[in-house]
Copies of this chain bind each other. A is one copy, B any other.
Amino acid sequence: MSNKRTELNQLGEFGLIKKIAESVVIRQKSTTKGIGDDAASIKPEGEVVISSDMLMEGIHFDLSYMPIHHLGYKAVAVNVSDIAAMNATPTQIIVNIGLSNRFSLEAIEALYEGINAACEQYKVDLVGGDTSSSASGLAISITAVGMASKTKLAYRSGAKKGDILCATGDLGAAYVGLQVLEREKQVFASNPNMQPDLEKYQYIVQKQLKPEARMDVIHELADLNIVPTSMIDISDGLASEILHLQEHSGIGFRIYEDKLPIDKMTYDTAVEFNLDPITCILNGGEDYELLFTIPQDDYEKVKHHPDIHFIGYALDNKEDSHLVTKNQNMVTLKAQGFNHLSKSDM
């Protein structure tokens, strides 16, 4: 990357927007008007789902270790993940950014490189938004639109007694990856000549810096003709998400410690940091994997899927959800995100 720095005010009022608009590719036939009017227009098919998320510098991301193009990618991915969690297909995004004069044109171009890369990955169209000044720091607010036929939508509320609780991928990696990044930041702060030692942590650092929305699983479920009875994405830690399904579906869950999916690197690094790996799975956030329930009749269709894990099942107990430990102890699940009030989705 070059070290050129162009001040944003050299571009004129609409110069930045023009530059951003030029880099946009429209892929969805449902996009009838993209950037350039008072609003985008969309010709919907079926039900429209819509979700929005704001990321604030100093709270949700730290540019001292987060490359800004990864931030752009991640900001799109986490919104696409919300659309995936409705069992819908993402189609459009709108991006608002507020930025202080600390940011150069080159930084914003790198941010939009990441945004455009995610648009390509998830086949969504960037159709609007605004860029504003900010008194300090960077704020990114992304709204994602998706579509699904009404009968395919998966809410949090449909889990029934006996349904199998499934989780994709592996859990806890993004949280443990964050611990690695924070440690290397401290090391660098105390001795700027030290090179960060990230190579051996590549997978978990990647899960933190550049998570993927599990649209692959959504497409596979559609191919298998499976509609989850309930679904949510795992953004705040497994325990918190199970409690959301419990609250909305009105039933408890039993999960098993020995069924919880964890990568070996996550496990080993958690131990290195004196963290309990199971606590990282239950309360660490930002995995953006999917948690969903399927009827027992659908189990045969997915039982050999390499990336879907059957971690428990739904009870009719309205009281609580719990974890059965390897020693057969029952532990009641509690939500305790690590970041108090750092983010609450409506």
Contacts and interface: CB of A to CB of B under 8 A. Distances in A.
Interface stretch (A131-139, A179-187, A190-198, A203-211): A131-139
Q: How many copies does the complex hold?
A: 2
A42 B153 CA distance: 11
A104 interface: no
Interface stretch (A68-76, A90-98, A319-327): A90-98
Nearest to A236: B13
Contacts of A14: 344
A79 to B, nearest CB: 9
B345 A130 contact: yes
Question: Chain A, interface size: which category?
Answer: 35 or more
A219 interface: no
Interface in A19-76: 20-21, 32-33, 35-44, 47-60
A254 interface: no
Nearest to A53: B130
Contacts of A304: none
Contact of A135 (B57, B82, B94): B57
Interface string A142-165: 011110001001011100000000
A60 B145 CA distance: 27
A8 B86 contact: no
A44 B48 contact: yes
Interface stretch (A116-124, A264-272, A335-343): A335-343
A336 to B, nearest CB: 9
A127 interface: yes
A117 to B, nearest CB: 18
A346 interface: yes
A136 B135 contact: yes
B341 A16 contact: yes
Nearest to A344: B17
A142 to B, nearest CB: 9
Contacts of A155: 33, 37, 41
A136 B341 CA distance: 15
A175 B38 CA distance: 21
A35 B96 contact: no
Interface in A195-227: none
A83 interface: yes
A75 to B, nearest CB: 12
B42 A50 contact: yes
Contacts of A342: 132-133
A205 B345 CA distance: 35
A130 B82 CA distance: 12
Contacts of A49: 39-42
A102 interface: no
A341 B150 contact: no
A85 B36 CA distance: 13
Contacts of A53: 96, 130
Given A39-B146, A96-B141, A130-B344, 6 more contacts: A44-B44, A50-B92, A50-B94, A52-B129, A52-B130, A56-B135
